Structure formats: C-alpha cells, structure tokens
Amino acid sequence: MNETGKNRRKKFFGYLKAHWQLYVMILFPLIVIFIFAYGPMYGILLAFKNYKVSLGIWKSPWAENFGMNNFIRFFNNYNFMECLRNTLVISLYSMFAGVPCSIILALSLNYAKNYLFRKTVQMVTYCPYFISTIVFVGIINMMFDIRTGVLGSFFSDHFGVNILGSAELFPSLYVWTGIWQGMGFGAIIYIAALAGVDMEQHEAAIIDGATLLQRIRYVDIPAIVPTVVIMMILNMGGILNVGYEKVLAMQNQMNLSSSEVIATYSYKVSLVSSFPDYPYSTAIGLFQSIIGLILILITNKIADKISGISFI
Amino acid sequence: MRRKIISQDKVVYFLNYLFLVCLFCIVLYPIVYIISCSFSSGDALMAGRVKLLPVGFTLDSYKAVFRYSSIWTGYKNSIIYTVLGTLISLVLTLFAAYPLSREDFQGRKIFMGIFLFTMMFSGGLIPSYLLIKNLGLLDTMWAIILPGSVSAYNIIVARTFFDQTISRELLEAAQMDGCADFPFFVKIVVPLSAPIIATLSLWVAVSLWNSYFNPMIYIDSSAKYPLQLVLRRILLMSQVSFDSSSVDPETIERNKYLSEMLKYGTIIISSLPLMIAYPFIQKYFVKGVMIGSVKG
C-alpha cells in the first residue's frame, strides 16, 4: 500500500528482466494485430473525407456537412431502408429460428439412450458444417433448380413457385438452409451444458413423479439458460454483419430486393462498381461496426442486470 | 397414476427416436442426392430423373473433373495457403495465449483488452482493402493468410486451455531448476498442449480452406486462385471453359451436358479431403467448442 511509484517501477523492471521472453513472445501477435486489425481503423477517417487518390487519406479534404456527408447520403439513399430491413430480417430470423432448433436437437440427443444411434446422428448432423459456402450454395442452386433439381421441380409442379427466383422466399431459404448446415454444430454447446446438469436433480424429480417432459421443462431448460444468454450476446454484436459470404453467393437478379444487405451493398458500391466510391462504402461499414458495438454493450448490460451473466 | 406417467414417458422416448430418425434422413438426403447425381448420366440429370440413386451410371463427370486443369491448380494453391496459414496462425495464437495465461504476467489485462477489442470493432471492408493495397500485398497469398491469422477468440480458447492444464506447481518446479520462460513453453507447455493445438489447427485450416470472400477481393490472377474461387466460377457463375486440348471435341459433342456434370463432380472432389478427415477430426472440433464455451 505504501509503495512509492519508484519502488513499483523498480519491481516492474525486475520482473521484466526475469521474464522478458514472455514479452518477446507476445510481441509477434501484437505486431500482426496492430497492422491488420488496428491499421484499418486509421482508414476509417476516409468515411469523413472526399477521397482523392492522388492526395491519400490524410490530405484529402473533409466531406461536406462537417464531414458527415457520406453518412447523410447513405441515410437518404433509397437503398438504406431496404438494406437495413433485409439485414435485420435475415439476422433476427436466423437467430430466433436457429437457436431453438439447436436446443431441441441437443435435448433430443440427450434423451436418445442408444449410444451408437446417438453418435451416428450427431456425426451426420455436424457434417454439413464442413461444406464450404460456395459448394453449399452450389448444392442449393442444384436442388432447387425448377427444371432439374429434385426439390425445385417438386415445388414448381405442385405449388407453382420458383424458390430460387422468389424475393419473398429468400429469407426463409437462407435461414432454413442455414439451419440444415449449422444446427448440429450449434447443438454441441447445449449438449455440453446438458451433460453438466446435476443427476441428483433428475433423480429427485423422478421420485416426485415428474414426467420426462416436466423434467425437461423444470430441470434441463433452466440449466442451459446461461449458455443461451451468452450465445445471444455473442450473436447480437454480429446482427448487422450477417454472414454475408453466403448472402452474396446466393444473390441473383430476382431475389435482390430481399437479399441486398448492408454488407453486400457496401461491397458493391466500392469494389465491384465501375465508379468505386470508397468513402461512401467506408461510412456504411463504420455505421455497421458502431451499431454492432453498441448492441454488444447493451445486450451485455441487460444480460448482466437480469441474470448476472456478462461476457465482457 | 404412476403407471400412466411411465407410459407417457415411453411414448415421448419413442417419438424422440422417430424425430431423430427423420432429422437424420433430412440431413443425409441432400448429400446422398449430390453423390448420386455425380454418378448419373447427363441426360438423366437434365431431365431431373435423379431422385435418390444414380440413373444411368457413369463416371463421365469425374473424368471431366480430372481433365479440368484449373481445379487442380486451385487444389494446389489451397493446400499451400491452408498449410502455411495454419502454421503461422497457430504460432502467433500460442505466443499470445501463453503469456496471457500466466497469472504473474504484468500488463496482461491491457494486452488482453487490445486483443478483445478487435472482436467487437473493426475497420471494415474498404480500410482493410486499402491497407492491403498500400502494403503491396494485393494478389499475393499473404493477403489471404495474414489478416485473419490472429483471432481473439482462438487466443481465449488457448488461454483457457493453458489455465486448466499447466499447473502452477509445474512452472514453479521448472523455475526452481532455472528454466526460463521460453524454454519452458517449448519443452513443457507445447508437448502438453496437443489437444488444443489439434483443435485450433483444424479450425483455422477449415476456415482457410473454405473461405472465398478474401481471396475474391485480394487475388486477381487466376493462376493464384484457391480452390473455392475456381469452384465459384464453375458452380455459381457457370463459367466453364474446356480448352480443346484437354477435352476433344468429340467428347463435347457426345455429351453436351458435360459442363453440368462437371458441377456435381467438382462438388464431390473438392469436399472429399474434409469429408474423409471429418470422422477423425470431429472430436477435436467438439472439444474446442466446449473449451470456448467456458466463460472467456
């Protein structure tokens, strides 16, 4: 408590002398992360500028309206509401359909008593997770092709819909194929949580005459709530950056009105466009990052208040 | 009353099995379907006659894949990027995670904060692109390998593992014998960390092997394309170019659906390495997810 600053510094240098190797070790990943994660943060300045390639980021003049012009342009653009709506629909739909599916699978596997059967189902349901986005979207396109695909021809013959070409059905197609791919993998974490449930609680419940469904409701579900909360917090931050690799790969001219999300829009106005607008795209990206950060902090706070679980 | 409850449980158990069997079929069906398609004749494919099993069994689609040279260039590139990228990422992750797992490490809160912040906020697409461009890394494999090589999440997972496995006594005993930190890390920590090294390598390797967005924006020359970009051309953009030297015109004439058939063959060939390795590696994946689920 009474240590002077000098003393403390001396102690620190003593530590440094004995353990300099630890600092050398951590230096390498630090350098990489400073260049490739913090380096781009300098480029954020671009969002507030009128970029002139010849002048570079620093010397380019500030944008109009106190540097906020790029943001104003985005908010006033007719694409903005559509992109924002599509982004929210896709990510919330994914989350609220995907998490329960994984939980149901985990509960179901937990009560499948035959070991070999359970392992087989587990293995098969994890499997699609390893299929790459490109191959996966390729498979979707093939299966839902209205002429040659087995599901596509079925739906087009019986219901007269072209699933691949329908903007209305795009969110559902995206979410349910995503569940097909990720449900098994998402269940792992809940299976682990269920394995941690105290067997004594189950035994006590059985003695009290609880049915299986009651035990699930009153013993298992409360036990996995903390895990669910943490997963929700982690998901919340990414709510505006939906896995756009898959969205981008699934886009076509016909579903564009519901498949254009903020990330794909910002990619198109910059790197694909014949008149690349870097500051505009940067502003969109920054908007996305900031909302993400705010959402993480808010959900974290709420979760902390309600259940005492926080991540940060 | 008691008998009724038990019989209700039996029904629930039965329904549960039924549910899992249905699920099993739903997940397996598309995979079986694609495999069957890859062995079917072009006419059957185009008429949509394949439902479950191959129709008009043929190996033509695989023959087409083997003659299509850019797939194999992509394969080679992907292997190089994946192996090198995984090695680099692994070394960097462990180098960050070990000091951070040491309770006595001064400044570990600050360092941890520096890594954690990157999980919550990033510069975004264009700033990253301009950085890579200004560093002169465009159209090189480093643009694919380096930016994602240090992941805060992987560091947390590795750190949690070290916390649990490397006991304080072990460190103290080694320090007693005059063992410095780095030799301790190399001689004691690394050999004890085989499970986490396996898990992290697999995570990184699979995500590098499967990624397409970064290669798409950073790699221009098709000779450097990783497999996923070649696949994107074939599967999503339907850009298939048979140069006449690799496929004789007769074959094209005989089988006008060759480019369609090529798609099914490529799906199988490109997913094969992971699918073969999958039963052996899945337990490490599962392990990693569970370590990661322990509060960071």
- Within B39-107, residue ranges assigned H as helices are 42-46, 60-67, 69-101
Domain boundary among B223, B255, B280: B223
Say if residue A172 is in the same domain as residue A297.
yes
B129 touching A (Cβ < 8 Å): yes
pLDDT band at B78 (very low <50, low <70, confident <90, very high): very high
**Range from A5-9, A195-199, B3-7, B142-146 carrying the lowest mean pLDDT:** B3-7
Q: Which pLDDT score, from 0 to 100, does residue A38 have? A: 93
Say if residue A91 is in the same domain as residue A221.
yes
Shortest CA distance from A227: residue in chain B: B293
B289: in domain: yes
Tokens 């996995």 sit on residue: A224
* A197: closest CA of chain B, how far (Å): 15
Mutate to test the interface with B, among A44, A132, A236, A244 (most CBs of B within 10 A): A132
Mutate to test the interface with B, among A19, A130, A242, A290 (most CBs of B within 10 A): A130
Shortest CA distance from B8: residue in chain A: A211
* pLDDT surpasses 60 at B252: no
A220: in domain: yes
Per-residue CA distances from B105 to A20, A165, B176 (Å)? 10, 57, 18
A65: in domain: no
**Residue A299, class by beta-carbon neighbours within 10 Å (0-12 exposed, 13-18 middle, 19+ buried)?**
buried
Chain length of chain A: 312
Q: Which pLDDT score, from 0 to 100, does residue A33 have? A: 95
Helix, strand, coil percent content, chain B, rounded in steps of 5: 75, 0, 25
**Residue A29, class by beta-carbon neighbours within 10 Å (0-12 exposed, 13-18 middle, 19+ buried)?**
buried
Say if residue B124 is in the same domain as residue B174.
yes
Contacts of A198 (CB under 8 A, 6+ apart): none
Say if residue B276 is in the same domain as residue B210.
no
**Range from A231-245, A267-281, B180-194 carrying the lowest mean pLDDT:** A231-245
- Determine, for residues A143 and B24 on separate chains, whether the beta-carbon distance falls below 8 Å: no
Q: What's the average model confidence in pLDDT over B192-204?
A: 88
Q: Which residue type, as a one-letter code, is found at position B134? A: N
Say if residue B134 is in the same domain as residue B246.
no
> Which residues in chain B have Cβ-Cβ distances shorter than 8 Å to A102?
none
CATH number, domain with residue A131: 1.10.3720.10
Shortest CA distance from B53: residue in chain A: A150
Domain count across chain B: 2
Per-residue CA distances from A281 to A37, A99, A240, A276 (Å)? 18, 32, 15, 9
Angle between helix axes A278-307 and B125-134 (nearest 10 degrees) is 120
Say if residue B84 is in the same domain as residue B61.
no
Q: How far apart are CA A139 and CA A200, in angstroms?
A: 46
- Considering only the beta carbons, identify the residue of A139, A153, A211 that sits closest to B30: A139
Q: How far apart are CA B131 and CA A40, in angstroms?
A: 6
Shortest CA distance from A295: residue in chain B: B120
B58: in domain: yes
Tokens of A143: 């299966």
Q: Which pLDDT score, from 0 to 100, does residue B113 have? A: 93
Q: How far apart are CA B128 and CA A37, in angstroms?
A: 8
- Give the pTM: 0.87
- Within chain A, residue ranges assigned H as helices are 5-33, 39-42, 56-59, 69-76, 78-110, 115-126, 133-143, 150-158, 170-195, 199-207, 212-215, 221-237, 244-250, 256-259, 262-267, 278-307
Say if residue A18 is in the same domain as residue A157.
no
Angle between helix axes A170-195 and B258-293 (nearest 10 degrees) is 40
Question: Running DSSP on this structure, what letter comes out for residue A60?
Answer: S
**Window 83-102 of B, Cβ < 8 Å to A:** 91-93, 95-96, 98-100, 102
Say if residue A113 is in the same domain as residue A262.
yes
Say if residue B7 is in the same domain as residue B57.
yes
- Determine, for residues A43 and B264 on separate chains, whether the beta-carbon distance falls below 8 Å: no
CB contact at 8 A, B234 and B262:
yes
Domain boundary among B166, B191, B223: B223
- Considering only the beta carbons, identify the residue of B5, B212, B295 that sits closest to A133: B212
Shortest CA distance from A53: residue in chain B: B130
Question: Running DSSP on this structure, what letter comes out for residue A61?
Answer: P
The predicted-structure confidence for B16-60, as pLDDT tens digits, reads as follows: 999 999 999 999 999 999 998 889 887 777 777 788 888 888 888
* A266: closest CA of chain B, how far (Å): 8
- Determine, for residues B150 and A33 on separate chains, whether the beta-carbon distance falls below 8 Å: yes
> Which residues in chain B have Cβ-Cβ distances shorter than 8 Å to A237?
120
Domain count across chain A: 2
B147 touching A (Cβ < 8 Å): yes
pLDDT band at B295 (very low <50, low <70, confident <90, very high): very low
- Determine, for residues A137 and B282 on separate chains, whether the beta-carbon distance falls below 8 Å: no
Say if residue A2 is in the same domain as residue A113.
no
Mean pLDDT across chain B, nearest whole number? 85
Question: Running DSSP on this structure, what letter comes out for residue A165?
Answer: T
Say if residue B141 is in the same domain as residue B209.
yes
Q: Per-residue DSSP letters for A193-253?
A: HHHTS-HHHHHHHHHTT--HHHHIIIIIHHHHHHHHHHHHHHHHHTSSS--HHHHHHH--T
**Range from A239-243, B63-67, B154-158, B168-172 carrying the lowest mean pLDDT:** A239-243
B235: in domain: no
Mutate to test the interface with B, among A48, A57, A137, A142 (most CBs of B within 10 A): A142
**Range from A204-213, B16-25, B32-41, B238-247 carrying the lowest mean pLDDT:** B238-247
**Window 159-218 of B, Cβ < 8 Å to A:** 180-182, 185, 206, 209-213, 217
* A61: closest CA of chain B, how far (Å): 17
Say if residue B59 is in the same domain as residue B140.
no
Say if residue B36 is in the same domain as residue B171.
no
Say if residue B81 is in the same domain as residue B199.
yes
Tokens of B13: 């158990």
Say if residue B60 is in the same domain as residue B77.
no
**Cα-Cα-Cα-Cα dihedral sign, residues A252, B29, A93, A167:** positive
Chain length of chain B: 296
Say if residue B133 is in the same domain as residue B211.
yes
* pLDDT surpasses 60 at B202: yes
CATH number, domain with residue B164: 1.10.3720.10
B149: in domain: yes
- Considering only the beta carbons, identify the residue of A39, A124, A312 that sits closest to B24: A124
Domain boundary among B165, B195, B223: B223
B150 touching A (Cβ < 8 Å): yes
Q: Which pLDDT score, from 0 to 100, does residue B18 have? A: 92
Say if residue A117 is in the same domain as residue A260.
yes
* pLDDT surpasses 80 at A175: yes
- Considering only the beta carbons, identify the residue of A41, A134, A293 that sits closest to B231: A134
Q: Which pLDDT score, from 0 to 100, does residue B250 have? A: 59
A162: in domain: yes
Say if residue A3 is in the same domain as residue A117.
no
Q: Which pLDDT score, from 0 to 100, does residue A176 have? A: 95
Torsion of CA A173, A178, A180, A182, to 10 degrees: -170
B215: in domain: yes
Say if residue A17 is in the same domain as residue A98.
no
Q: How far apart are CA B278 and CA A69, in angstroms?
A: 50
Per-residue CA distances from A83 to A88, A94, A241, B71 (Å)? 9, 16, 12, 35
The predicted-structure confidence for A89-122, as pLDDT tens digits, reads as follows: 998 899 889 999 999 999 999 988 888 999 889 8
Say if residue A1 is in the same domain as residue A148.
no
CB contact at 8 A, A106 and A187:
yes
Contacts of B168 (CB under 8 A, 6+ apart): B103
A53: in domain: no
A242: in domain: yes
Mutate to test the interface with B, among A109, A114, A137, A139 (most CBs of B within 10 A): A139
A296: in domain: yes
* B51: closest CA of chain A, how far (Å): 6
The predicted-structure confidence for A8-67, as pLDDT tens digits, reads as follows: 778 888 888 888 999 999 999 999 999 999 999 988 888 888 887 777 777 788 877 788
* pLDDT surpasses 90 at B272: no
- Considering only the beta carbons, identify the residue of B19, B23, B146 that sits closest to A125: B23
Q: What's the average model confidence in pLDDT over A178-186?
A: 90
* pLDDT surpasses 90 at B96: yes
A147: in domain: yes
- Neighbour-count burial for B189-201, b at 16+ CB within 10 Å, e otherwise: beebbeebbbbbb
Say if residue A22 is in the same domain as residue A98.
no
Say if residue A119 is in the same domain as residue A246.
yes
Q: Which pLDDT score, from 0 to 100, does residue B100 have? A: 94
Say if residue B42 is in the same domain as residue B92.
no
The region that residue A112 occupies, defined by phi over 0 for left and psi between -120 and 50 for alpha, beta otherwise, is beta
Instruction: State the residue range of the domain holding A165.
Output: 70-307
- Considering only the beta carbons, identify the residue of A25, A112, A188 that sits closest to B98: A25
- Considering only the beta carbons, identify the residue of A153, A180, A285 that sits closest to B27: A180
Say if residue A1 is in the same domain as residue A98.
no
> Which residues in chain B have Cβ-Cβ distances shorter than 8 Å to A46?
126-127, 130
Instruction: State the residue range of the domain holding B10.
Output: 2-67+240-293
- Higher pLDDT residue, A13 or B129? B129
